[in-house]
Amino acid sequence: MKMRYDEVGKGPALILVHGLGGTGNVWGGVVPTLSRTFRVVIPDLQGSGRTPREGEISTGALATDLLELADSLGIERAHWVGHSYGALVLQLLAVKHPSRVASLALIGPFQGGPSDATRTALSARAEKARGEGLADIGSVTAQVGTSAQTKAYRPELAAFVREMVMRQDAHSYALTCEAIANSTPEDIASLRCSTLVITGDEDLTAPPQVAKALANKIAGCHFHVLPRCGHWAPVESAGEVTNLLLNFLINCSDSGLT
């Protein structure tokens, strides 16, 4: 399938993957700095942003799409960064195709195999998206998904999140909700690539204890909690995320993990 993407910079390949309700624009605050050192590729996943839905939306299908995009760009091995559901897609990609992963950074991550309550909530959200569209879902996402500080002092960031979500294709959004609900855990303990996990202290989707439990399963994983930050860390704390990623990626490069 033809995935729409942006590409900027030169150097080792770095691919940034957004999550549910997002687009490549989630990474707008981190790309200018990272692209000074890396060849940064920023796709819109199938059914999100500029990329139309052409087939199945599942965690495995999205991972395959990303590998096909990398192949089309002549990228055999890349540094991969994923936010939220994008981090879940990359867990599968890294476990199934370790030779394609130079390093892995997971922001606001959770594992597959959600609880029955979470599956029920995702199914209800999918039904709401199909029946009512995404305006209300966008409002709830911005309200619940961002920190108190973001809403009080950077309301334009919360507004950006709402706008991004509500402009998605509602049916594709619903299918993505169902893909998350149907996801299964990956054997992340088998990962041997250098890995970074980042979450916000006010992240209700991947709260510190959830993200820490995930990080603890990966040998040598680096873990960081961002203060006064919700689930949309690349938007809410773009400067801090940029610095963490840049230091992590440069260390990987200096260690020969490119």
Domains and CATH numbers, the chain: 5-113+184-254 (3.40.50.1820)
What per-residue confidence (pLDDT) applies to 46? Answer: 97
Distance CA 190, CA 210 (A): 19
| Residue recorded with tokens 């390093």 | 103
pLDDT per residue rounded down to tens, the chain (258 residues):
689 999 999 999 999 999 999 999 999 999 999 999 999 999 999 999 999 999 889 999 999 999 999 999 999 999 999 999 999 999 999 999 999 999 999 999 999 999 999 999 999 999 999 999 999 999 999 999 999 999 999 999 999 999 999 999 999 999 999 999 999 999 999 999 999 999 999 999 999 999 999 999 999 999 999 999 999 999 999 999 999 999 999 998 665 544
Instruction: Return the structure tokens found at 112.
Output: 């597959």
Q: At what angle do helices 155-166 and 135-145 cross, to 10 degrees?
A: 140
**pTM of this structure:** 0.97
**Cβ neighbours of residue 213 under 8 Å, at least 6 residues apart?**
none
What per-residue confidence (pLDDT) applies to 56? Answer: 86
Measured CA distances, 135 to 62, 157, 176, 179 (Å): 25, 16, 17, 21
Residue among 81, 70, 12, 28 at smallest CA distance from 236: 28
